Structure 1
Amino acid sequence: MNREPSLRHPLLERLAEARRVTDELFDIVKPDHLYDRPIAERHRIVFYIGHLEAFDRNLFDQRLFDLPNSNAAYDQLFAFGIDPVDGGLPTDQPADWPTLDQVREYCDRVRADIDGKFDPIQLVANPVSPGESPAQLLEVAIEHRLMHAETLAYMLHQLPIDWKIPPADALSERTSDRAIAQETVHVPAGVATLGLARESGVFGWDNEFDAVRVEVPDFEIDRFMVTNGDYLRFIDAGGYWHRDFWSDEDWAWKEEARIAHPAFWIPGKTGWKLRTMFDEIDLPLDWPVYVSYAEAHAYARWAGKALPTEAQWQRAASSAPHVAEGNFDFRRWDPSSVQAHPENTSAFGVEGQFGNGWEWTSTKFGPLNGFEAFPFYLGYSANFYDDKHFVIKGGSPRTAACILRPSFRNWFQGHYQYVYAGFRCVSV
């Protein structure tokens, strides 16, 4: 077969590029630490090396084509991740996992088996499973991998700096002491469209369908994301430790876990430091603050405001050029100033809603009208319709460009601190 890369289908090119992104991400971890667990609620790093390939194999096998059954035990072992809910922590030990050579041999075999089944010129025309489009399944594999490229960055961020190997593109602006004059803009009453129309033919995940039009009353919203400087004023005023600004559930979590400050902040002798992926720097006041939903909610109450609903956030983003220049698509490892990309501005003057940091909304993650779970991934969304997860919108520096589409609905539970997510406030 002719496997000249230039002759491959664009989706196969995208799959190859997504593999490159995740391969390079694992390369920043020194090999001695690939069996560590940087976040207590998550799997060890080695699991994710096997998971990405096992997911693709389990997705494609018997749907696009028959794949050799070379290691059914590993197909199962690496099949499912962990969602950190209810305080349960995994108890496995490094010795419970296969060796790195065994995992990599499995991954190489799976990739070779998959690549050997795809026609180099066009996608397979007749999937084994009727009604499941090869293009749709490839989109799922690509975006699943790219989502992990981001969430793995959250995990690797928690590793000690000297356990990592900074790539050549790791350098970024080191510090900033600019304080942003936070201002609000008016968003007139109008319609927000959540999700995608099923008949549009555009790829989306199951929770993006079917499109819903929501009438949104007028409101005021912060022009910029809340910055580290803004949040520092909240901390200096004692609001972070003031019971009145926290819900009962959030305060109980904060007390039990002894949460004393945002996860990415480090107390220093001369002031706060920020832990970036590869360094500790003076707190940049004009970067967006990354916090949990609980911390964002407390700040909003202190400020006499609220977090936007998903519909308000979507309305505020009207006509924003979400794929213009910006801090996304793995261009940087760190945030940048909330004022860095004025070209990413909505019709109402709201800046920076796509890239530089996901944004919490007050909307609990749930189905849109007409929701139908993917038959090949039944639990992707439905397992999280539990009133414990909140919708986040936009994207971060480590979000792939294809995931920045306005209809994309991300979610995390409200007490998870490790997400590259910030927020902006609204008032009505």
Structure 2
Amino acid sequence: MNREPALRHPLLARLAEARRTTDELFDIVRPEHLYERPIAERHRIVFYIGHLEAFDRNLLDGRVFDLPSANPEFDQLFAFGIDPVDGGLPTDQPHEWPTLDEVRAYTKRIRDDIDARLDPVEITKQPVSTDEADPATLLEVAIEHRLMHAETLAYMLHQLPLDQKTGPALAHEPASDPAVRHDMVRVPAGTATLGLRRESGAFGWDNEFGELQVDVPAFEIDRYMVSNGDYLKFIDAGGYANRACWSDADWSWKESAGITHPAFWIRDVARGAWKLRTMFEEIALPADWPVYVSHAEANAYARWAGKALPSEAQWQRAAHGAPLAADGNFDFRRWDPSAVQAHPENRSAFGVEGQFGNGWEWTSTAFGPLPGFEPFPFYLGYSANFYDNKHFVLKGGSPRTAACMLRPSFRNWFQAHYQYVYAGFRCVRD
């Protein structure tokens, strides 16, 4: 049995690294606060400690090897997250969850059992079960699922009060150009390629397959993402009170929820200024960082500016030729955004900058299937459960997005009214 780290299969090394990433994230939270629910629409933090290991157990059991359950009740309890879209929020109380010792014992047992069986497994692209899953693909799913949670957990922990977590003392880069010159770049008519060919052999999630060629007419797009400074002009102009800027559904949401500003902004009433809540502190609002907002807020700004959000095909077309810069703001390198103009080396063939990393970017495209969509047989609801015209496609990536998911075909999605994603936007004009 080969347990030399340097000689193990690369997927096993990636799994170990992904585990370290999520373990370190949970360590940010002071133990007495692991039963908090920082975002009302999500489970309590303790759920995710159990979920990551339960997911791996439920995915691999019977497909790569037999994995007897040490606790079938926990396997079910920690199986699925939640994403309520109709106003129904979870009401469970902390005392209804297992103790932290019980959860830790459960997760340790799963890791130990999986690792003992993975080492001797031949990791191939050959199916080993009736649902035609192979060990390599299933390990890719386990790794990327965990890395996705490493990002979405950051959204959750970001909303946790500062005194409930620990973190490094951070020295933030000063705003280098508060008045970013926001010109638009012309993108000529051409073809955008969405998705992947099934026969490519590349790993992708089920919604990525079904390559689609889209003819895109010429358009203009912002060179940079919309910054905090840009968005402040919208707020100062009364954008949140201007009914004309909002769709009916978005206005209803904003009014009923009492939304008056981005979720990451804090009003410093005494000084008459805005501050930004970062993961570990509150700082003066950096004017040239990208603004992080919901799809509804991004769409309202675009309408106010006389523009629109790009379609998925327009965004993809604009990104043609963009390299993934080695020093870009992604792959857990920073907790915070960089200035929108900070990565000129990440420039597309048309001069659009910073499309990969630094913040996901909302599109106007409702999340849906590409041609010939087939759900993963071992994860039937991963995409299909969200083809509901209530979730919208995001492209690019954020500072907390793993590098492997910056591939051009990757399609992220969230509800239009969810404010907590590290997501911004840029606008287009025909």
TM class by shorter chain equals: over 0.9
Contact conserved, 1:323 with 1:401, CA < 8 A, in 2?
no
Alignment of 1:153-192 (within 5 A): 153-167=154-168, 170-173=170-173, 178-192=178-192
User: How many angstroms apart in 2 are the aligned matches of 1:173 and 1:27?
Assistant: 25
- 1:7-406 equivalence runs, <5 A: 7-119=7-119, 122-123=122-123, 127-129=128-130, 131-167=132-168, 170-173=170-173, 178-268=178-268, 269-270=270-271, 271-406=273-408
Q: Is the contact between residue 175 and residue 281 of structure 1 (CA under 8 Å) also seen in structure 2?
A: no
Q: Residue 178 of structure 1: CA displacement?
A: 1.7
User: Quick one: distance in 2 between partners of 1:287 and 1:111?
Assistant: 39
Aligned-pair CA distance for 1:5: 1.1
- Aligned residue pairs total 427
Q: Which runs of 5+ in 1 are unaligned?
A: none
CA-to-partner distance for each residue in 1:48-73, whole Å, 9 max, x for gaps? 00000000000000000000221111
Native 8 Å contact 1:207 1:381 kept in 2: yes
Q: Match for 1:292: what amino acid?
A: S
Equivalent position SS for 2:150? helix
Contact 1:322 1:406 in 2 (8 A): no
**Structure 2 residue runs without a partner (length 5+):** none
Q: Is the 8 A contact 2:127 2:133 kept in 1?
A: no
User: Partners in 2 of 1:37 and 1:390 — Cα distance?
Assistant: 25
Question: Is 1:172–1:332's contact at 8 Å kept on the other side of the alignment?
Answer: no
Q: Whole-Å Cα distance in 2 between the matches of residues 390 and 5 of structure 1?
A: 40
Question: In the aligned structure 2, how far is the partner of 1:25 from the partner of 1:386?
Answer: 31
TM-score (norm 1): 0.97
Q: How far apart are residue 344 of structure 1 and its match? A: 0.4
Letter in 2 for 1:56: D
Distance 1:288 1:392 in 2: 15
Kindly tell me: are residues 370 and 343 of structure 1, through their superposed partners in 2, closer, same or farther at Cα, counting changes over 3 Å?
same
Instruction: Write out per-residue CA displacement over residues 350-374 of structure 1, whole angstroms, 9 at most, x where no aligned residue.
Output: 0000000000000000000010000
* 8 Å Cα contact 1:175-1:282 kept in structure 2: no
Within 2, Cα distance between the matches of 1:18 and 1:174? 31
Shift of 1:3: 1.2
In structure 2, distance between residues paired with 1:115 and 1:49: 18
- How far 1:4 moved relative to its partner? 1.4
Q: What is the rounded CA distance, in whole Å, between the counterparts of 2:328 and 2:93 in structure 1?
A: 41
User: Is the CA contact (8 Å cut-off) linking 2:356 and 2:396 kept in structure 1?
Assistant: yes
User: Taking structure 1 as reference, are residues 176 and 88 closer, same or farther at Cα in structure 2, changes over 3 Å only?
Assistant: farther
Letter in 1 for 2:379: Y
Question: What secondary structure sits across from 1:91 in the alignment?
Answer: coil
Describe the SS at the equivalent of 2:117: coil
The offset of 1:294, in angstroms, is 0.4
Output the CA distance in 2 between the equivalents of 1:267 and 1:398: 26
Q: Which amino acid aligns with 1:150?
A: E
What is the CA-CA distance between 1:171 and the residue it aligns to? 4.2
Q: Distance in 1 between matches of 2:403 and 2:72?
A: 34
List per-residue Cα deviations over 1:112-171 (Å, max 9, x = no partner): 110011135852777344621111000000000000000000000000111111047x54
Please tell me whether the aligned partners of residues 222 and 424 of structure 1 are also in contact (alpha carbons under 8 angstroms).
yes
Deviation per CA, 1:369-427, whole angstroms, max 9, x where unpaired? 01000000000000000000000000000000000000000000100000000000000
For residues 44 and 121 of structure 1, the distance between their equivalents in structure 2, rounded to whole angstroms, comes to 35
1:51–1:78: 8 Å Cα contact kept in structure 2?
A: yes
What is the alpha-carbon distance in structure 1 between the residues aligned to residue 319 and residue 131 of structure 2? Answer: 38
4+ aligned runs moved over 6 Å, structure 1? none
